[in-house]
Chain A
Amino acid sequence: MTDVQTPTPPAPPVAVADRDSAALTLVRAFADRGTTHFTGVPCSLLKGVFRALEAGTGPAAGLSYFPAPREDSAVGVAAGLAAAGARPAVLMQNSGLGYSLNVLTSLNLIYDLHVPLVVSWRGHDAGDAVEHDIIGRELLNLLDVFGLRHTVFDPEDAYASVERCLDAADDGRTTPVLVVKEGI
Chain B
Amino acid sequence: MFGIQDAIRAVTEKYPTSLTVSTCGFITRDLYNTVDRPENFYLVGSMGMAAPVGLGVALAAPRRHVVVLDGDGSFAMNPGALPMIAEHAPDLVHVVLDNGVHESTGGQRPVRVADPAGLALAAGYAAAHTVTSAAELAAVRTEPGVTSLIHISCAPRGAHAGKRVEWTPQQMVERFRAAAAA
Contact = CB atoms under 8 A, between A and B. Distances in A.
B80 A69 contact: yes
Contacts of B84: 66-69, 73, 77
A80 B60 contact: yes
A88 B52 CA distance: 14
Given A66-B88, A69-B84, A80 B78 contact: no
Contact of B56 (A70, A78, A112): A78
A76 B56 contact: yes
A85 B181 contact: yes
Contacts of A102: 45-46
Given A69-B83, A73-B81, A78-B56, A112 B169 contact: yes
21 contacts: A69-B80, A70-B80, A72-B49, A73-B80, A76-B52, A76-B56, A79-B53, A80-B54, A80-B57, A81-B57, A82-B56, A83-B60, A83-B173, A83-B180, A84-B181, A85-B60, A86-B56, A102-B46, A107-B49, A110-B44, A110-B45
Interface of B: 19, 21, 24, 41, 43-46, 48-49, 52-61, 78, 80-81, 83-84, 87-88, 169-170, 172-173, 176-177, 180-181
B45 A84 contact: no
A106 B44 CA distance: 7
A84 B49 contact: no
B40 to A, nearest CB: 11
Contact of A80 (B45, B56, B83): B56
Dominant secondary structure of chain A at its interface with chain B: helix
Contact of A84 (B52, B56, B88): B56
A84 B56 CA distance: 8
Nearest to B50: A76
B117 to A, nearest CB: 20
Interface residues of A, number: 31
Give the interface centre of A82, A84, A106, A107 by most chain B CB atoms within 10 Å: A84
B87 to A, nearest CB: 7
Q: Which 7 A-B pairs give the minimum distances between C-beta atoms? A: A80-B56, A106-B45, A76-B52, A84-B60, A80-B53, A76-B49, A86-B60
Contacts of B44: 106, 110
A107 B43 contact: yes
Given A107-B43, A107-B46, A111-B173, A73 B180 contact: no
